[in-house]
Amino acid sequence: MSEEKKPLNFLEQIIEEDLANGMPNNELRFRFPPEPNGYLHIGHTKAIGISFGLGEKYNAPVNLRFDDTNPAKEEQEYVDAIKRDIKWLGYTWANELYSSDYFQQLYDWAVLLIKDGKAYVDSQSSEAMAEQKGTPTQPGVDGPYRSRGVDENLDLFKRMKDGEFEEGTHILRAKIDMQHTNMLMRDPIMYRILKKHHHRTGNDWCIYPMYDWTHGESDYIEQISHSLCSLEFKPHRELYNWFKEQVYTYSKDKYPKLPKQREFARLNLSYTIMSKRKLLQLVEDGIVNGWDDPRMPTISGLRRRGYTPKALKKFVETAGVAKRDNVIDVSLLEFCIREDLNKTAPRVMAVLNPIKLVITNYPEDKVEWLDAENNQEDNSAGYRKVPFSRELYIEKEDFKEDAGNKFFRLRLGGEVRLKNAYIIKAESVVKDSNGNITEVHCTYSEDTSKKVKGTLHWVSIQHAIKAEVREYDRLFMDEAPDSHTDKTFLDFINPNSLKVIDAFIEPSLKEAKIGDRFQFQRLGYFNVDSIGEKLVFNKTVGLRDSWAKKTSAEHSRSKPKNSMNQNQEKLQQQNQRKAISVIQQLGKKYTNLPEEKQLKVKSEIQELAKNVSYEDLEPLFNTAVKKAGTRIAATLTLGVLLENGLERNEAINNFISKALEDKNELLVAEAEAL
């Protein structure tokens, strides 16, 4: 099957047009220009991916340039963190540069602009200048210092540089047009006095260039061909062009090529804030434990959480390059890390909420070391040994005294399979004085060929290692926490975003190293955060998206029970009963959907599958071969049931075998995941 050629995004189309119009390929140059005033976040991965991705595509150099023009907010710590994050993502820059490298050149150009009557020193208060600037619908007016003579401007500007004046007394402004329809063109500020220590230049400078003056001229000095930035800079493009055209007249022999600015939509994520100022507030107010707190959307936080470079790149690629701002559902990011870790993370057993299970007919002093598969997705992963003994821990929620037909786990009189071990039957329970179950007594059978519906994970009590598990949830409870006029983003902090658990893990994890990632079977994906006195694991993501279901339930509870809502509830109950029908409908068009839509539909199918019984699903095993979409939907649903403890049988194995032999690559991929 030939690989489908991906269509070009609009930035690639611009570059292809420039190359077709005569630009030599060896003149392509890109840059990623972060300000070192905070840690990089998930939104930056898009800008990084675009610039470095184009560099890889066209074999062109990509500079890492720090726009370090505000010493009041910039620190070496941020520079180091940014470099570390970009390297971790797998990118290599051609040159490490700083806007501060160009301070002298920028100053010299500013002097030339003053001499040409295109810049002047303004000595008014900020309030007076703001009043003169006008509004988007009202033109500005000239200030009293706009007509200052060249000699006086040169003298004042030099004395500003020499530190003679206090902050706020003078600024240098470009002399463009105070009546311009674009307010950014109304004599923008080029320099302000800042008597602050700079992390690279120390105290050499008392004046610092503004971003708009520095940014484009740095691009010009580096001979960047395409200056790519986010959409909020589109109104700045006219000023970007004005500045570069002025300096071009001074330095065209030394710097013959003019850069071109183009803008793309920034990456916005639901249940997340992207403002570095607000992220800094979370750190300074102690709401999170530093920039790399696993609840933070920073790259360093995501790394500690257990995210991989591959998953982040896949997320950015799936979100795409657009011209208009939009909000990407955070569940897509979570889906991407699940997909990656499902293929690579070793499977292990851990119990987070234990209840003691005693196998009464198993010898007290006997220990067996059983073979356990490390990862069914990776044939090369091999097997490990896990100890089995008379007394085990299982999850408390995996046992009920009485349960309905859809409960595939352990109940009194019922049988389940212990993962990699035997089939057990619950015979009785032991309760404390308050009626709480403290032990489940079982018997086991060595006949492992028996068919049972449920499979449970477990650990041997005498061999289990104590570990700390940090279960992280979303930091904000609102989909757009910083979009409300009557509340601040702090009003939507999730008080339950971190839960610390004392867990029990199998002994094979004793040698785990920081950064190792595992699937705790039936629980989710976890990452080793520290290995001091005890192992500490951070939860990366669950096996399924539980947030959508939780928020939907909370939303339903918050609504008043009027007749309309009762009708809606009735309809919802009908829809739940017909979940398998909805899954069939979603499957019909699955193979014709674009990748991003497929991921969304896949998530919907997996959520609906929680309301499907095996009896509902089994008829879909006989779906016609040509209906690949429906068979994919059935495979996804089966995956959820198996994760929830459904025991494999002959019909399931036959269905998976046929899917593995199919010509549809999507179906084969999902079958391989089972």
* Helix ranges restricted to H, 294-437: 299-305, 309-319, 330-344
**Nearest Cα to 6, choosing from 67, 57, 43, 70?**
57
**Nearest Cα to 79, choosing from 69, 68, 89, 90?**
68
CA distance 295 to 242: 42
Q: Give the E-state strand segments of 67-161 in sequence order.
A: 96-98, 119-122
360 close to 443: Cβ distance less than 8 angstroms: yes
Torsion of CA 84, 89, 90, 92, to 10 degrees: -50
Distance of CA 241 to the CA centre of its chain: 34
**Nearest Cα to 426, choosing from 447, 448, 406, 454?**
454
CA distance 141 to 247: 26
Of the residues 35, 427, 596, 672, only one is catalytic, namely 35
112 close to 82: Cβ distance less than 8 angstroms: no
Active site residue 276: yes
Neighbours of 87 (CB within 10 A): 12
CA distance 122 to 167: 13
Active site residue 35: yes
Q: What does the block give as tokens for 526?
A: 């976890």
Residue with tokens 């402004």: 173
Distance of CA 352 to the CA centre of its chain: 26
Largest CA distance in the chain: 101
Q: What does the block give as tokens for 547?
A: 């947030």
Q: What does the block give as tokens for 481?
A: 């926490």
Look up residue 131 and give its amino acid: E
CA distance 332 to 391: 41
Angstrom distances, CA of residue 303 to CA of 293, 306, 439: 10, 5, 39
- The two beta strands, 465-472 and 498-505, are antiparallel
Of the residues 175, 276, 409, 411, only one is catalytic, namely 276
218 close to 172: Cβ distance less than 8 angstroms: no
Residue 180 exposure: Cα atoms within 13 Å on the Cβ side: 15
Residue 505's SS3 state is: strand
350 close to 503: Cβ distance less than 8 angstroms: yes
Residue with tokens 């068919």: 451
CA distance 387 to 506: 8
Task: Kindly report the length of the chain.
Answer: 674
Residue 539's SS3 state is: strand
Residue 504's SS3 state is: strand
Active site residue 200: no
420 close to 372: Cβ distance less than 8 angstroms: yes
Residue 322's SS3 state is: coil
Q: What does the block give as tokens for 399?
A: 């046992």
Using alpha carbons only, how large is the chain's radius of gyration in Å? 31
Of the residues 173, 237, 266, 602, only one is catalytic, namely 266
CA distance 466 to 173: 64
259 close to 216: Cβ distance less than 8 angstroms: yes
- Catalytic residue numbers read 35, 266, 276
